[in-house]
Structure 1
Amino acid sequence: MSNPVPFGPYSETQDELRVMLREIESWEKSQKDLWFWEKIGRLPFMLLDRLTPKIIQKKLGQAIDELGSFVQTGGQYLVSESSVLSTLRSAAVTEAPAQVPQMELEDPLTLESASRLPIAVMDKTCEELIKSRAAFATAQGATTGFGGLFTLAIDIPAILGLSLKTIQEIAITYGYDPKEKLERIFVIKCLQFASADIVGKKAVLDDLSDFDNENRQRESLSQLQGWREVIASYRDNFGWKKLFQLVPIAGALFGAIINRGTLQDVAEAATMLYRKRRILERLRELEG
């Protein structure tokens, strides 16, 4: 295999990177608290827990507990990076041939080389990836919504798993390796941000503001010992929207819309947080 090719140092100037950073910071400020009905909507899950037969509750609990193993080992939720890197390489050839000549690209592309691709190429790849995953989430929500209450117990861990996989693919798109434990912590933090209220979002942004600092990484690892609370919060935030999915047959329509929106929210948060991290790293290198 050939040695990684240095692209650049980077195709973006410091000024261009700062403009990108300001756009992300503007997005962060736009994140609002859960609106009133969203908060009220958490209550139906108290009723749902009472109505759901114990055997389904047990299976649902086991599925959600299984997500916790992702932090430690990745488990069944780790994704293959090869397809994402292949898509990145194709995007580099078609979207930015001037900045990344085809003859200089590794085949297959490595994560190290991918991390130095133009951010525009990363953004384009991420956009296409999210469209694909959102379509899948739509179909999944329609399928599990068709059966009402009983298939809802299947739907919640299913959309959680799809969310985790999508965030990992976004991580690879921006040149990060989710097979590393610390990167899996970042993945969970993205999931946490997507489901948090305004106070929680601020806390996550603070945690991630200096994530590559070793001391900050140890703090994040310690905080994630309570990962079950993150998963529980994510589940509860489906709220009243999932309540409509309890209606058999009609629930298919609600399930499709809800799951698509949920996946898009998670993907948007992950894209912004990983993009910001990559921009900050490049600025540090260029300014250092």
Structure 2
Amino acid sequence: MQHHHLNSYEDQVRTEVLFWHRKMTSAPSFTDRLSKKVQDKINGYIPEKVHKAITLTMEKLFKAVLFGAEYTTGRKMTNGSLVYREAYIKNQIAFYQKTASLEGAVTGAGGLLMGLADFPVLIGLKMKLLFDIAALYGFDVKDYRERLYILYIFQLAFSSQQWRNEVYKMIDTWEDFAKTLPEHAEDFNWRSFQQEYRDYIDLAKMAQLVPVIGAAVGAIANYKLVAQLGETAMNCYRLRLLRHSGSNNNDDTYPVNE
């Protein structure tokens, strides 16, 4: 009976991933294209100090994620069914939502400058969540290539639909792409990666992380952004796990590349 329950859970996950896969690969709608123009305009209105804060934070973030030990302490979960792992993961997302919304309320109350000061903290929280999710799905975050994958997940969550199509190609063909990467982080050309990465990130979405308008807005924005990030990460790892199990079982019912 329990076995049937686990199978039906995996079927449900497959269906969710399929819908998500279609969403990620769908062409930008008229509204998307329109909102991209609006976002480009908003980007022009975002103060230079916010642009600088985001750029500086990104640079620190890359160094911390690719080379630092700060995020890589999570031990991977080596056993447990998908339903068991995802129960843990959903708990983690809920915990980080509470923490991030509290952080958002504090910085929101302090206005823009305090928001800028805490901007790295808010991004750091979201990165820590992604590392936790990776480890709970059983991936070894000590491998810098897995840390790179985490950066792509973050990028996917904060891209406009035009860019999302491009970023998703990396996620979708990750196993092949990972084979082309150098074995050691020091040999990876992170400078050019960082410049490309910066272009893909939607500044208007990133600016949402800086609570400007007030405590309530900061709290709600962060609560929603953590949920969005958590959902993106779950589907990215599900995609890899389902492909892997599919290849083991000679099961082509899962559409790898439609």
* Matching of residue 225 in structure 1 with residue 218 in structure 2: no
Alignment deviations for residues 241-264 of structure 1 (CA, whole Å, 9 cap, x no partner): 568x434xxx11111111111111
- Partner residue in 1 for 2:137: 174
What does residue 254 of structure 2 align with?
none
Partner of residue 81 from structure 1, selected from 66, 74, 79: 74
Q: Alpha-carbon deviation of 1:211? A: 1.9
Q: CA deviation at 1:155?
A: 3.6
Q: TM-score, normalised by structure 1?
A: 0.69
What RMSD, in angstroms, separates the aligned Cα atoms of the two structures? 3.3
Q: 2:158 aligns with which of 195, 209, 221?
A: 195
Q: Tell me how far 1:202 sits from its aligned partner.
A: 2.3
Alignment of structure 1 residues 116-195 onto 2, 5 Å: 116-195=79-158
- Are the equivalent residues in 2 in contact too, given 1:168–1:187 (CA < 8 A)? yes
Gaps of 5+ in 1: 1-10, 83-110
Quick check: 1:189–1:204 contact (8 Å CA) kept in 2? yes
CA distance in 1, matches of 2:134, 2:172: 17
- Count of residue correspondences: 237
Q: Percent identity?
A: 19
Distance in 2, matches of 1:194 and 1:170, equals 15
Q: What is the deviation of 1:174?
A: 0.4
CA distance in structure 1 between the partners assigned to 2:101 and 2:118 by the alignment: 12
Q: Secondary structure at the match of 2:73?
A: coil
Q: Distance in 2 between matches of 1:204 and 1:58?
A: 24
- Name 2:185's counterpart in structure 1: none
What are the Cα deviations for residues 49-101 of structure 1, in whole angstroms up to 9, with x where unaligned? Answer: 24x4xxx876665433211213531353x14325xxxxxxxxxxxxxxxxxxx
Query: Equivalent residue of 1:238, what SS?
Result: helix
Partners of 1:81 and 1:239 in 2: how far apart?
A: 26
The equivalent of 1:28 in structure 2 is 21
Q: Which one has the largest radius of gyration?
A: 1
